[in-house]
């Protein structure tokens, strides 16, 4: 880099059109042609299909109207898992500090490699070449001082590009971006911001934090104010794998109907099981934690016969545990619900329901794929439609 310009040491590596790229890699006849993975719903589209207007989460019929000559292929999740493992081997050969955040993306910290590997931009260039030569897939890499900005840089550099955001220029780069580039800004939040004539990240940065909180609520307000100023102190995290994964939501005082409680529980289970599947973990102990209106707490758990990350299995177990506390909820009121799945391991999924649960597991994977590629709000259950999106606002990963 030129004198006076400093490179950050965080890399965000993100495979391009992952599922479609695997299909094109494995079938040479698909290369250079518009490819759609998934029939009823588009799980992934090659860049040739994207150029014709095909988007992830689009209905299959609509996608073919936009691109009639697209080639539709069924998803092959085993092939995608194998490709992901091969790519992560490249990541770990590059640096021991790797934090996987989904099947096709990760953060890498390369600050300690300068003497032996060179500048972060040099390492990123070699990483892209290694993924292409060893795994045969295109990948984009962002290089920046913070995880958030590295992720934005990789997205801007797509397809198959690399973008370095010098430390001295990071706010200049960030503030020119549309508000939708802020991590956690979906359609609802974007609409609120644009209705208030807030169109760029720079517009957000010029607001007082209290103004954002008043407009969006405390969670999103504090979160977006920090990101607009590129405040993201999270390091790339590796090390011991956690023994449980969970999520909770404060309900607030007042009466809450059974339907509202069930919707909250459903949304929390969705969040937890999705994180488990992204991490390749299964668990056998389902626990719900409740805080009542008198500030007392209750914890109930149930251990399944087999470990699972199947959404419906965890949900039905959590519902049973919640029903067992219905009397206390009626008498005391409820102000918080938490759900966690413990006894996590890395064993392959073995679903516990005696029904046709294999198809249920595949449905979970399809839903995860749509949300990973198109955002957490892109696919919602019917019961969630029209509900407040306070549970759906993504938070920065732990």
Which CATH number belongs to the domain containing residue 249 in this structure? 3.30.1490.100
- Determine, yes or no, domain membership for 337: yes
The answer to whether residues 19 and 84 belong to one domain is yes
Residue 359 — very low, low, confident or very high, per pLDDT cuts 50/70/90? Answer: very low
Looking up residue 218, the CATH number of its domain turns out to be: 1.10.150.20
pTM attached to this predicted model: 0.63
- Catalytic status, residue 105: yes
Q: How far is CA 313 from the centre of its chain?
A: 22
The answer to whether residues 43 and 104 belong to one domain is yes
Over residues 140-156, the mean pLDDT reads: 94
Per-residue pLDDT tens digits for 272-282: 888 788 777 88
* pLDDT score of 247: 82
Which of the residues 7, 105, 109, 170 is marked catalytic?
105
- Look over the chain and give the mean of its residue pLDDT values, rounded to a whole number: 84
The answer to whether residues 321 and 201 belong to one domain is no
The answer to whether residues 191 and 155 belong to one domain is no
Instruction: Say yes or no to pLDDT of 397 above 70.
Output: no
Domain containing 19: what range? 1-165
Looking up residue 88, the CATH number of its domain turns out to be: 3.30.70.270
Of all residues in the chain, the percent with pLDDT exceeding 90 is 49
Instruction: Say yes or no to pLDDT of 298 above 60.
Output: yes
Given a contact cutoff of 8 angstroms between Cβ atoms, the answer to whether 273 and 135 are in contact is no
Q: How many domains does the chain contain in total? A: 3
Show the CA angle centred on residue 41, arms to residues 36 and 46, nearest 5°.
20
Distances 226 to 99, 148, 182, 248, 316 between C-alpha atoms, Å: 22, 11, 10, 22, 38
- Determine, yes or no, domain membership for 397: no
The DSSP element (H or E) to which 307 belongs, if any, is strand 297-308
List 300's β-bridge partners, or say none: 288
Higher-pLDDT residue of 271, 72? 72
The answer to whether residues 183 and 112 belong to one domain is no
Report which of 16, 6, 1, 24 is spatially closest to residue 73, judged by C-alpha positions.
Answer: 24
CB within 8 A of 39, min separation 6: which ones? 60, 72, 74
Residue 384 — very low, low, confident or very high, per pLDDT cuts 50/70/90? Answer: low
* pLDDT score of 43: 87
* pLDDT score of 389: 44
The DSSP element (H or E) to which 140 belongs, if any, is strand 139-144
């Amino acid at each position: 880099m030129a004198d006076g310009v400093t490179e950050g040491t965080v890399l965000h590596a993100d495979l391009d059109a992952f599922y479609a790229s695997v299909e094109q890699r494995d079938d040479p006849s698909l290369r250079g042609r518009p490819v759609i993975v998934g029939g009823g719903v588009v799980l992934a589209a090659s860049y040739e299909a994207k150029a014709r207007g095909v988007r992830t989460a689009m209905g299959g019929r609509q996608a073919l109207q936009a691109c009639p000559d697209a080639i539709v292929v069924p998803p092959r999740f085993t092939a995608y898992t194998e490709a992901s493992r091969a790519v992560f081997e490249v990541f770990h050969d590059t640096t021991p500090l790797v934090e996987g955040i989904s099947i096709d993306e990760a953060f890498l910290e390369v600050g300690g490699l300068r003497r032996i590997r060179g500048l972060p931009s040099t390492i990123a260039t070699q990483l892209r070449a290694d993924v292409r030569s060893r795994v045969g897939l295109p990948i984009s890499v962002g290089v920046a001082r913070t995880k958030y900005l590295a992720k934005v840089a990789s997205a801007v550099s797509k397809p198959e590009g690399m973008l370095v955001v010098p430390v001295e220029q990071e706010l200049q780069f960030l503030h020119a971006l549309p508000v939708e580039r802020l991590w956690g800004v979906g359609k609802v939040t974007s609409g609120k911001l644009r209705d208030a004539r807030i169109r760029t990240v720079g517009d957000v940065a010029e607001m007082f934090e209290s103004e954002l909180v008043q407009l969006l609520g405390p969670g999103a307000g504090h979160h977006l104010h920090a990101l607009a100023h590129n405040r993201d102190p999270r390091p790339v995290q590796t090390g011991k794998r956690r023994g449980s994964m969970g999520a909770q939501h404060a309900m607030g005082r007042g009466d809450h109907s059974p339907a509202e409680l069930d919707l909250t529980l459903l949304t929390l289970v969705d969040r937890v099981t999705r994180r488990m599947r992204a991490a390749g973990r299964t668990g056998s102990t389902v626990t719900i934690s409740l805080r009542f209106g008198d500030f007392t707490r209750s914890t109930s758990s149930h251990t399944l016969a087999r470990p699972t990350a199947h959404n419906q299995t965890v949900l039905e177990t959590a519902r049973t545990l919640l029903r067992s506390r219905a009397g206390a909820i009626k008498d005391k009121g409820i102000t918080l619900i938490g759900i966690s799945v413990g006894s996590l391991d890395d064993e392959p999924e073995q679903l516990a329901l005696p029904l046709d649960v294999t198809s249920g597991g595949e449905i979970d994977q399809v839903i995860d794929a749509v949300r990973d590629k198109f955002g957490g709000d892109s696919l919602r259950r019917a019961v969630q439609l029209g509900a407040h999106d306070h549970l759906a606002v993504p938070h920065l990963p732990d």
